[in-house]
Structure 1
Amino acid sequence: MQVLLVIGRTFLMYGLVLVVMRTMGKRELGQLSPFDLVVAVMIAELAAIPLEQVDAPLLPGMIAILTLAGLEILLARTSLAGIAARRIISGRPSLIIARGKLVEEEMRRLNYNLDDLLAQLRRKGHFGPAEVEWAVLECSGDLSIIPVGNQRPVVTGDLGVATGDERLPRAIILDGELDREALTAAGLTREQLLDQVKRKGAKDIRGVLFAGTDRQGELYVQLKARRRH
């Protein structure tokens, strides 16, 4: 009888956790923010308690799991409100290598040591900062890099093609909200940006889903889809 009870509880908790995790959104483990990871671990622990302790009531654990899921969904919705909310909840990407030079101040601020950096560079196929033009530490802890010209895949290094002076791509408008720091770093003025936005057919920045510069400094703009009434 106890075996059947354990099996029944297992099916119930598995179904609940599956629904909760699907509701919270699709993200890989490596893309989770620290808060997301804590919530996932807590849900796993809460789901395990009724399975380990058959005499423990199910309802308190289920309520706790649903509460955590609700909190996670609420914060995810809040992060959609704008850049400021996302910065508070998830943090912001940090520039670790700029034009082949380590940004020591940022590394100290993040408590990010050289061993961690070198390990992540090796996983990307590079064995030192000298092989990297730009490196950004993402909010998830992953490292995004742009190698120096002669270290990029096959074509440029092997054929001796000059890559020229390339810039760090910038995300300037996200979901209708302007990132002023990125705008300044990209070397653009608000008037220049608005001119490009209007050429694409939007009245103002609020009509832009995404706008950013590429490695050549060219501006890319995508407008929001028009909603059907």
Structure 2
Amino acid sequence: MEYYTIIYRTLFIYLILLGIFRMMGKREIGQLSVLDFIVFIMIAEMAVISIENPEEPMLKHLTGIFVMFVIQIIFSLLSLWSKKFRELADGKPTILIEKGKVNDYEMKMSRYNFDDLLSQLRENNVKSIADVEFGILETTGKLSVITKEESSPPKQKNAASLVFPVVLDGNIQEEHLTKLGFTPLWLRQQLKKIGVTDLKSIAICTVDGNGSLYVDQKDKK
């Protein structure tokens, strides 16, 4: 009888977890945030405990799984609504290589060693650090690489092609503007030229080194 209970619980919890993970979103495993990863581990642990202890009421363990599911949904919504919370939970992308020069300070702060760096450069088919215009460590731990050839097309040898988000959820990202050599006043003037006067209406605005803007405004409810 105990074996039937284990089989029943395993199938039932499998279906429950399948539904929960489907509702949590469509991120790949390599793209999970720290919060997502913690929640997934705790839910999996609760599921195993429920299967291994058939004498205990299943509702007891399902309650814990449901609570973790609710916590994950709340944190996901907070990440969507608040950039500060998103940075606190997921961190920020870090520039490890700029114009062929490794940023030793950011490497140490990210606890990233040269073996990791060279390994990811090889995965991006880059032979030498000197060939890299920008190497950006994403919040997922993956290194995004823009080579000097990609950033310097024949007709625009001096153009910086790295694109930065300068407005997110209606808030100006002054740090990114500074990296590009622009100011908030310049940004407002450029937005005004294309008919955008309310920053709060902008979902995302990106700018490259040439000053070219891409603007996506929030959907009107």
Confirm or deny: 8 A CA contact 1:200 1:221 kept in the other structure.
Answer: no
Q: Distance in 2 between matches of 1:60 and 1:126?
A: 52
Match of 2:157 among 144, 148, 164: 164
Tell me the CA shift for residue 215 of structure 1: 5.3
Does residue 65 of structure 2 align to residue 72 of structure 1?
no
Match of 2:190 among 191, 196, 209: 196
Counterpart position of 2:47:
47
Q: Distance in 2 between matches of 1:200 and 1:60?
A: 57
Sequence identity of aligned pairs in percent?
Answer: 35
Tell me the CA shift for residue 4 of structure 1: 2.5
Q: Deviations along 1:149-193, whole A, 9 cap, x unmatched? A: 1xx5xxx7xxxx465134232111112222121122222222221
Q: Which moved more, 1:114-123 or 1:212-221?
A: 212-221
**With structure 1 as the length reference, what TM-score do the two structures score?**
0.87
Q: Distance in 1 between matches of 2:194 and 2:67?
A: 43
Q: Deviations along 1:30-50, whole A, 9 cap, x unmatched? A: 111222112112211211122
Counterpart position of 1:25:
25
Does residue 133 of structure 2 align to residue 139 of structure 1?
no
Tell me the CA shift for residue 114 of structure 1: 0.4
Does residue 113 of structure 2 align to residue 113 of structure 1?
yes
Tell me the CA shift for residue 65 of structure 1: 1.2
Does residue 122 of structure 2 align to residue 122 of structure 1?
yes
SS of match in other structure, 2:81? coil
**With structure 2 as the length reference, what TM-score do the two structures score?**
0.90
Match of 1:184 among 178, 183, 189: 178
Counterpart position of 1:96:
96
**RMSD value, Cα:** 1.8
Q: Distance in 1 between matches of 2:103 and 2:211?
A: 22
Q: Deviations along 1:63-88, whole A, 9 cap, x unmatched? A: 11111111111111111223212111
Alignment length, in residue pairs?
A: 218
Q: Distance in 2 between matches of 1:69 and 1:187?
A: 43
Q: Distance in 2 between matches of 1:209 and 1:200?
A: 16
Q: Which moved more, 1:120-129 or 1:97-106?
A: 120-129
Q: Distance in 2 between matches of 1:142 and 1:203?
A: 36
Q: Which moved more, 1:113-122 or 1:50-59?
A: 50-59
Q: Which runs of 5+ in 2 are unaligned?
A: none
Aligned in 2, Cα 1:197/1:5: closer, same or farther, shift over 3 Å?
Answer: same
